[in-house]
Structure 1
């Protein structure tokens, strides 16, 4: 699987581009703040055509560029419980964040809702861009936070670590940490249940591509991540 990852201009939110190979359709995951130029370069370099945009949740740092990326035709996929966030993610954001965006980009922060939005639910299977993804609902960071799993792995990764599947974990699981639960819509109890019931059952051979920071594996996180090692039964 061709996999390109790069950080957005704010909050180091990871944007991912996945495709079976160069010259084919691709899936874009979490197009955050200011990713459009880099994304265009990636699509041009690898001759890729967007088939869909997957959103792990509705926070503005993960969805800011979704409407520009989708245009009028490409669908954006988001869990039903976070669908409301696409109506006005700025209105659900801290005023300080909005002010920062306006200062950084030199204009008033404006939002336009995507034209084509597909609501998804737990355990849905999506066939997109020649790849198949399973939706795992894992609330806690937001009500509709999800992880997207696929049996494919990035090209060359098996030469570095023992993995046989990939999980795009959004802000559910990071290398050594988890997403915060003190923002509107967050729920610490729900996060603990998601870690116990959704994250911990993942095989050790799962490559984890998180919404922030670097990639990791379930084997490593199971052994070292304090939020998993100290998880109550």
Structure 2
């Protein structure tokens, strides 16, 4: 398995392309200006996209979801509580950020599949386990995969905006809830092994063990 990640757009949102040895792949969180880079990476590596996976519905993570999904003719996967933001991203933004959308129109991808806590998604030889992790947004999810690395077989979590290196997701946007977010982290992240790798929606990767030891937001957990 190979994972390519790059920050895109004004929000520097991490977009990930996860592929297996046969060239099957999924694209995770194609945000603003991610489409061009995705198409280049997929073309240069000769990959076959199966799906667009969305960790949540905030604008910075779904901006190019329709363009990427429809270009490859694949479905976009999102939790139903965040689905409305695919066509109305202003519902997940503060008033000042919503103003930037006044001249923009968003529509759902041609095919949308709703995902739920405990779902298992299979694409090619890849398996993704879905965890519902609300708090940052009502429909936030993370996607867990098992991968062989140089350090051995490890869990890798595509975590969206839930847990960061030395931080956690913001909860001041509509429907954000700090208590719910911390419960999500405790139940879905801190129950993983210390060597589990977290690939967040912004910033560098980290491990569950590092955040358990040093993340100041997790001290009460």
- TM bucket by the smaller chain? over 0.9
In structure 1, which of residues 120, 129, 132 is the aligned counterpart of residue 115 of structure 2? 120
Secondary structure of the corresponding residue to residue 164 of structure 1: strand
Q: Can you give the 5+ residue segments of structure 1 that lack an aligned partner in the other structure? A: 103-107
Secondary structure of the corresponding residue to residue 82 of structure 2: helix
2:4 equivalent to 1:12: no
**Distance change in 2, residues 1:117/1:225 (3 Å):** same
CA contact (8 A) 2:143 2:157 kept: yes
Q: Distance in 2 between matches of 1:127 and 1:29?
A: 14
CA contact (8 A) 1:101 1:109 kept: yes
Q: Distance in 1 between matches of 2:2 and 2:93?
A: 33
CA RMSD of aligned residues (A): 1.9
2:76 aligns with: 76
The offset of 1:98, in angstroms, is 5.0
2:153 equivalent to 1:158: no
Q: Distance in 2 between matches of 1:205 and 1:146?
A: 20
Q: Can you give the 5+ residue segments of structure 2 that lack an aligned partner in the other structure? A: none
Secondary structure of the corresponding residue to residue 110 of structure 1: coil
Q: Report the TM-score, using the length of structure 1 for normalisation.
A: 0.88
**Distance change in 2, residues 1:82/1:118 (3 Å):** same
In structure 1, which of residues 178, 184, 188 is the aligned counterpart of residue 174 of structure 2? 184
Say how many residue pairs are matched.
220
Secondary structure of the corresponding residue to residue 209 of structure 1: strand
Note the alpha carbon deviations across 1:148-168, whole angstroms, 9 max, x for none: 000125xxx535xx7612001
CA contact (8 A) 1:200 1:228 kept: no
2:35 equivalent to 1:45: no
2:26 aligns with: 27
1:85 aligns with: 85
1:174 aligns with: 164
Q: Report the TM-score, using the length of structure 2 for normalisation.
A: 0.92
The offset of 1:85, in angstroms, is 1.7
